[in-house]
Amino acid sequence: MSIVVVGASLAGFSLVHDLRERGYDGSITVVGDEIHPPYDRPPLSKEFLHGDVDIALGETDDPRTRWLLGHRAIGIASTATGPGVTLDNGTTIAGRSLVLATGARARTLPGAQAPAGIYTLRTVDDARAIRAALRTARTVVIVGAGLIGSELASTAATLGVQATIVELATDPLSGVFGPLLGALCADLHAANGVRLRTGVAVAEFLGDEHVSAVRLTDGTLLPADAVIIGIGAVPNTEWAQDSALHIDNGFITDAQCRTTVPDIYAIGDCARTYQDALGTHHRCEHWSNATAQARIAAACIVGAPPANIPTTYFWSRQYGRMIQFAGNRRPDDEVRFIDGDPSTPSCTALYERAGEPVAVFAIDNARLFTRYRKQIERRPAAIATP
Ligand SMILES: Cc1cc2nc3c(=O)[nH]c(=O)nc-3n(C[C@H](O)[C@H](O)[C@H](O)COP(=O)(O)OP(=O)(O)OC[C@H]3O[C@@H](n4cnc5c(N)ncnc54)[C@H](O)[C@@H]3O)c2cc1C
């Protein structure tokens, strides 16, 4: 019997691929509300803003898989044949398993609907609009100094647009990397001519038809030909809120991506999954998590042995530098540089707990990073420093 997937992006596409790899030969229906064939999002804040690059995730011409693009799921349906979804055209499709892969959407700010020239970035259409704006803008204000905000600032600087980042926190990226390495990443902005205003919020956007400036809560007025808001993402779960699914900042699942309703799975940015390593549920918004959870759910659906959730891994490209992180960091972990230091062009640092490495961070040192990442994933106690 058929498998139904909601969300035709990285997690949904990867799931279809993994089911076929595992020999599942039955029909699969994938419902996606975007009209575009599945595409990859990481280039959207990076090289895509310079010009068109191929972002297609792969082929969608296998006759065993039906891609219902441009259709939105609006509710969970329980049918005699199994779990299903109701679509915005009034039809219901059901299968033996249902996989929710509806991702997340960009969070925005009050007052951002008007004037024109204020953007968020999640989709390829958002990226095209931002690319067009950056072609003519002289100044851009980026709200939020997280990974996407930082990448956007880096891209704007490369395009010759004067970027200013406004960040509410006083220590940007410290929640992600800790204060020492967060500050190291934040310093990249100044080194590349991008202004960073921390500990201050946006009070209002100014401009009649088109944005012309941003007023901050300390009274500062920043001229802006364009504004991009990069303040995180919200999981797309509301469409299923009338169901028996447990939803709390994502679809709650066990470690095998099974939701609280039999035969319904949730994977990728929309899922808050139990992680043994953390001892709690965690919603992860990184590329490698979406592909790993697709592998886990595919194994579960075909009855293969359970797979483990791998250690957190993500990368970010800023100012021509490759930043990588892997592991599970806690605020009280010790940070120790094992190669280079904050003053060198490349560096690698370990986060240690009770003398054992639990996470690794690197700038432009993929080889050493990968070595430690693998060791942390295999057996943290086995790591010896060079
Ligand atoms: C600009 C950008 C840059 C990024 N860069 C990096 C990076 O450098 N490194 C990294 O590790 N990660 C990066 N990420 C994160 C990574 O792209 C995401 O973790 C990944 O896209 C998650 O995949 P997903 O399939 O779970 O969700 P999504 O990619 O959000 O896809 C969900 C899909 O479901 C659709 N949908 C939602 N609701 C419904 C519905 N009711 N019915 C039908 N369809 C629905 C959505 O429209 C969307 O097409 C980046 C993300 C963005 C936006």
Nearest to 265, CA basis, from 92, 83, 93? 83
Q: Best mutation site among 150, 155, 236, 270 for ligand 1, i.e. most ligand atoms within 8 A of its Cβ?
A: 236
Secondary structure, 3-state, 309-320:
CCCCEEEEEECC
Q: What is the pTM of this model?
A: 0.95
**Residue nearest to ligand 1 atom 50, measured at CA:** 42
Q: How far apart are CA 194 and CA 174, in angstroms?
A: 19
Our answer on whether the CB atom of 293 is closer than 6 Å to any ligand 1 atom is: no
Distance CA 139, CA 10 (A): 33
CB 183 within 8 A of CB 90: no
Q: pLDDT per position in the chain (386 positions), as tens?
A: 799 999 999 999 999 999 999 999 999 999 999 999 999 999 999 999 998 799 999 999 999 999 999 999 999 998 998 999 999 999 999 999 999 999 999 999 998 988 999 999 999 999 999 999 999 999 999 999 999 999 999 999 999 999 999 999 998 899 899 999 999 999 999 999 999 999 999 999 999 999 999 999 999 999 999 999 999 999 999 999 999 999 999 999 999 999 999 999 999 999 999 998 888 999 999 999 999 999 999 999 999 998 888 889 999 999 999 999 999 999 999 999 999 999 999 999 999 999 999 999 999 999 999 999 999 988 643 333 33
Q: Which domains does the chain have, with CATH numbers?
A: 3-105+234-302 (3.50.50.60), 108-231 (3.50.50.60), 320-382 (3.30.390.30)
Atom of ligand 1 nearest to the CA of 7: 34
Q: What are phi and psi of 88, to 5 degrees?
A: -70, -10
Specify the pLDDT at position 252. 98
| Whether residue 7 has its Cβ less than 6 Å from ligand 1 | yes
Between the CA of 212 and the centroid of ligand 1 the distance, in Å, is 30
Ramachandran region of residue 111, left (φ > 0), alpha (ψ -120 to 50) or beta? left
Mutate to test the pocket of ligand 1, among 185, 286, 293 (most ligand atoms within 8 A of CB): 286
